[in-house]
Structure 1
Amino acid sequence: MRVVVAPGQGSQKPGFLAPWLENPETHKIVADWSAAIGVDLITHGTHSDAETIRDTRIAQPLIVAAGLISGRALQATLTEDVHYAGHSVGEFTAAALAGVLTDVEALQLVARRGAAMSKAASLTPTGMSAVVGTNLESLEGVLDERGLIAANVNSSTQVVVAGELAALDDLRGNPPEGTRVIPLEVAGAFHTSFMQPAQADLESAATSVSPKDPTSVIYTNQDGSVVTSGGKYLELLVSQMTSPVRWDRCMEAFVAAGATEVIELAPAGALVGLAKRSMPGVSTRKLDLPEHLDAFSAEEKG
């Protein structure tokens, strides 16, 4: 069984959409998406620099667009059904690929989400840092002392914490023994109560969407469980703005379901890295470039 996973914010790289946009049909689709959400995905995916595409308002729809392009291309190649999951904003990609949302609905909600999160982040100076080399249980006391929150539990050895910048600076200056603290270039404390104003905005936007029940197996960041209701999945997409991403539990669920391979959609790298360390015996592949589809096509023909 294959699990297709969609990455979250921070995975974007300058020019990463360019190879996909060489296909005229794909270029037209992305141009239409750009018009629908008011974000120039083509320019930002080909010519904009790293600083520009770091902006939450641009990064989030850009990442989801890349996941949809590569995901739809993969679906056109494979004959078997696959399972889906996304990390943070990547859940919108997964929702579209699993049939809960249309591509345009997913991108419109993400554009609204990115703008709302950017605005919420401007209210209080906050940020996020990855703590590498420890687990959530070992960190709980340290975080409580500093008023920090575990925003992403990515694996048994990597936890992303969030909160006010002064507390994050203190953690970096006094890291728990045996760990590394790496500041992340994000606008604010995502997946915490600091995003409550943004969640309210997205909840309002979500009322205009009529989700469908998934046509493929899809997992939630909330706890790694499988969600069979489209309405429930949409509720979880809204609530995850202020709740932790439990990617560790998603990977545990993949293994329990009998996963044999994890395929990460563009812009790929981070999630296959976590899978290699946390899912021994499960193979991994990145679908970062159009030519990577050739291997899947050859398998289907074989």
Structure 2
Amino acid sequence: MLVIACPGQGAQKSGFLSSWLELPGFAASIEELSAAADLDLRLHGTESDDDTITDTALAQPLLVASAIAAYRELVRDLPAPQVVAGHSVGEIGAAQIAGILTAAEAMEFVKVRATGMAEAAAATPTGMAAVVGGDPEEVLARITEAGLSPANVNGGGQTVAAGSLEGIDALKENAPERARVIPLAVAGAFHTDYMAPATDPLAALAAGLSPADPDITILSNRDGKAVTSGREYVDTLVHQVTHPVRWDLCQEELLSQGVTGLLELVPGGTLTGLAKRGMKGVETFALKSAGDLDAAREFVAAHTRN
């Protein structure tokens, strides 16, 4: 049983699409998705440096487009996965893969989301820090004591705290026992109330869409559960801008469903790393370059038969 996982912001690296754009089908997809987002995603996926593509307004559309284009190349004549899930902005790519949104709708949605979150982040200096290790209850307690929010509860011993820069400093100074606090190079406190200004334009866009119900089981970051209504899923995408990503609950649900393989779409690595720690016994595949495609297709074929 296979799950396709779409990574979230922070997974992007300079030049990560270079090998992929040598594939005519992938290149055509990126051109299509660039037009829908009114962004030069080819340029940003090949020539732009890390500082440039750290910009939320670019990173989010780039990641969603990459997931959509890579999925098209991956599956082609193969069976569809039994489950799809995305982490944070990866949920939008997952929605397109599951048939809830068209590719154009997904790109319009992510552009509005990214622009709104970038503007919200610029309004107030905030940040995020990964807390790795430690007792889970103590970690959450120390995050709260520092006036922060647990923005990403990722499982596998990793929680991401978000909030004021002063709070991040306080958490570093009063770190949980047996835990490391690692500040992240992000623009702001995503998935907290600081992102509230981004929700109104996104809700307005969502209200005008006519999402289809998913044709592949899709999990929500809200609670890790499958969502059977396309309308509910899109509404949850708006809700998630200011609420925590519960990837730990997604992993628990995948285990309960009997998933045997997790393939993370380009740029793979983050979610497979979490799965290795939090989903023992599940095989993983991180799709990074076009050179991985044949092996990835074998992985898909093997696990969709289970």
What band does the TM-score fall into relative to the shorter chain? over 0.9
Work out the CA distance in 2 between the residues paired with 1:109 and 1:264.
Answer: 22
**Closer, same or farther in 2 for the Cα pair 1:86/1:80, shift >3 Å?**
closer
TM-score (norm 1): 0.96
Q: What's the CA shift for 1:286?
A: 1.3
Q: What's the CA shift for 1:107?
A: 1.2
Instruction: State whether structure 2 residue 171 is matched by structure 1 residue 171.
Output: yes
Work out the CA distance in 2 between the residues paired with 1:135 and 1:5.
Answer: 27
In structure 1, the partner of 2:85 is 85
Work out the CA distance in 2 between the residues paired with 1:77 and 1:248.
Answer: 32
Amino acid at match of 1:218: I
Contact 1:31-1:42 at 8 Å conserved across structures: yes
The percent identity for this pair of structures is 48
User: Is the partner of 1:171 in helix, strand or coil?
Assistant: helix
Q: What's the CA shift for 1:32?
A: 2.5
Contact 1:135-1:159 at 8 Å conserved across structures: no
Work out the CA distance in 1 between the residues paired with 2:9 and 2:124.
Answer: 20
In structure 2, the partner of 1:277 is 277
Work out the CA distance in 1 between the residues paired with 2:136 and 2:229.
Answer: 30
In structure 1, the partner of 2:99 is 99
Stretches of structure 2 lacking an aligned partner (at least 5 in a row): none
Amino acid at match of 1:290: A
Contact 1:129-1:168 at 8 Å conserved across structures: yes
Contact 2:223-2:246 at 8 Å conserved across structures: yes
Q: What's the CA shift for 1:264?
A: 0.4
Contact 1:7-1:265 at 8 Å conserved across structures: yes
**Closer, same or farther in 2 for the Cα pair 1:285/1:77, shift >3 Å?**
farther
Work out the CA distance in 2 between the residues paired with 1:5 and 1:286.
Answer: 10
Stretches of structure 1 lacking an aligned partner (at least 5 in a row): none
Amino acid at match of 2:94: A
User: Is the partner of 2:19 in helix, strand or coil?
Assistant: helix
Contact 2:156-2:275 at 8 Å conserved across structures: no
User: Is the partner of 1:122 in helix, strand or coil?
Assistant: helix
1:211-245 residue CA offsets vs partner (Å, 9 max, x unmatched) = 00000100000111000000000011110001100
TM-score (norm 2): 0.95
**Closer, same or farther in 2 for the Cα pair 1:150/1:71, shift >3 Å?**
same
Count of aligned pairs: 302
Work out the CA distance in 1 between the residues paired with 2:125 and 2:244.
Answer: 19
In structure 2, the partner of 1:137 is 137
User: Is the partner of 1:224 in helix, strand or coil?
Assistant: coil
